[in-house]
Amino acid sequence: MKAAVLWERRAPLVIEDLDLADPAPGEARVRIVASGVCHSDLHHIQRESWVAPPFVPGHEAAGVVEAVGEGVTRVRPGDRVVSAFGVRCGECFFCQRGQPYLCATPYPTHVRLRRGDQAVTPLLNVGSFAERANLDARNLVVLPDDMPLEPAALIACGVTTGIGAVITTARVEPGASVAVIGLGGVGLNVVQGAVLAGAARIIAVDLVPYKLELAREFGATHLIDAREGDPVERVKQLTGGWGADYAFEVIGNPATIAQAYEATRKGGVAVVVGVAPEEATVAINAVGMMRTGKTLVGCNYGSVRPAIDFPRYVDLYRHGRIKLDELISRRFALDEANEAFAAMERGEVARGVIVFE
Ligand code: PAD
Ligand code: ZN
């Protein structure tokens, strides 16, 4: 089975022929049809991270179930599915509290993929830059027959994280002002989440003119080119001098996280969506935190509950209330995976998607 493998941090991905084990108890073997290209994969490729190579990237996938392991009743062969990433055991302190995105159960360690004697890790419990993957059945949500798999794949991460940050994490209310710093595959979904929430002012910030244009198409009301100066002052100018009710950082950079906090009005909410480097810290004036009464909140995976939220996003798409096809700027074959990341780094795509025959 063909898969893209990272053997060494910062090295190019290599297409390999891997052996895939039979699905273990609780797993389903899924033929991957589409896998979105998310910056989180690139962070694991480029930065020191808690996942050691070799690994197969890809965590934004949809496909078709081919076989199921012992005890799997959620899905059957032939089901078309979208997969969440990570672990949701349903039993731990966090899952029991209805916060499965914070599940405390460790990732499984049994070997699913190997090349010869060498075990290869599926990144984030998915590893969908591969023709097939054994996926934790608890992460799978069955799709309706009329839901195409390419847009469905984006629900697995970018859509859920971006819209969820607005609707579930921050609970933006109608009429609010929202600033979004970083307009990639996730940030554009923050923009359309703000539209769904009824935000009145949606201020979109990026360094790339194409991204600003995309943000307009997704519903941004004001655009700020961050190359032209400090976006914090511009956000304040557009919000009566106070700052936005809500500001979202969707890059993963301590400097822009501080910008999002500063661009939030007194009593407002700043949301950290971007994944910063492991050791990074953010400098925020301490007494200002007290005086301004702001809330600074982290958004892990859009606070998602896949079984509840994925079908909602499918329905919103089918009723024309959210854009998914418009997020797919370019399709790549598996052996173009390196180029797919390069296109993302050059700012040329909203989302790239790896598609399989
Ligand atoms: P992307 O590369 O598609 O988009 C990032 C955007 O940020 C690009 O449009 C850049 O031009 C823009 N940008 C970069 N630097 C600046 C700057 N200084 N000022 C303004 N704009 C800038 O990435 P993505 O949308 O796939 O992911 C964005 C982040 O979200 C990334 O850190 C990723 O790891 C994280 C993420 N978090 C979760 C989560 O659970 N919180 C889930 C998925 C992705
Ligand atoms: Zn992602």
Q: What is the dihedral of CA 189, 195, 200, 202, to 10 degrees?
A: 20
DSSP letter at 246 equals E
The list of the chain residues with pLDDT below 70 reads: none
Q: How far is the CA of 117 from the centre of ligand 1 (A)?
A: 36
C-beta 161 within 6 A of ligand 1: yes
pLDDT value, residue 231? 98
pLDDT (tens digit per residue) in 100-157: 999 999 999 999 999 999 999 999 999 999 999 999 999 999 999 999 999 999 999 9
C-beta 101 within 6 A of ligand 1: no
DSSP letter at 169 equals I
pLDDT value, residue 215? 98
Show Cβ contacts of residue 162 under 8 Å, excluding neighbours closer than 6 positions.
185, 186, 187, 188, 189, 190, 191, 192, 193, 250, 273, 302
Place of tokens 């109608």: 174
Residue 184: both structure tokens together? 């990639």
Cα separations (Å) of 199 from 257, 269, 293, 322? Answer: 21, 14, 22, 15
Cβ–Cβ contacts within 10 Å for residue 263, how many?
30
Q: How far is the CA of 297 from the centre of ligand 1 (A)?
A: 17
Which ligand neighbours the alpha carbon of 59 most closely? 2
Chain centroid offset of residue 7 CA? 23
Which ligand neighbours the alpha carbon of 44 most closely? 1
pLDDT value, residue 245? 99
Which ligand neighbours the alpha carbon of 165 most closely? 1
Q: How far is the CA of 271 from the centre of ligand 1 (A)?
A: 13
d(CA 122, CA 53): 10
Report the interhelical angle of 39-46 vs 337-345 (nearest 10°).
100
* Radius of gyration in angstroms for the set of CA atoms belonging to the chain, rounded to a whole number: 20
d(CA 210, CA 156): 24
Nearest protein Cα to ligand 1, atom 34: 40
pLDDT (tens digit per residue) in 75-88: 999 999 999 999 99
Length of the chain: 357
Q: How far is the CA of 285 from the centre of ligand 2 (A)?
A: 30
pLDDT value, residue 357? 75
Nearest protein Cα to ligand 1, atom 27: 39
Total H helices, total E strands in the chain: 11, 19
> Is the pTM for the entire model greater than 0.85?
yes
C-beta 275 within 6 A of ligand 1: yes
Helix (H) or strand (E) holding 197: helix 187-197
d(CA 68, CA 81): 13
Domains plus CATH for the chain? 2-156+324-355 (3.90.180.10), 162-300 (3.40.50.720)
Q: What is the dihedral of CA 137, 341, 217, 60, to 10 degrees?
A: 0
C-beta 216 within 6 A of ligand 1: no
d(CA 25, CA 67): 11
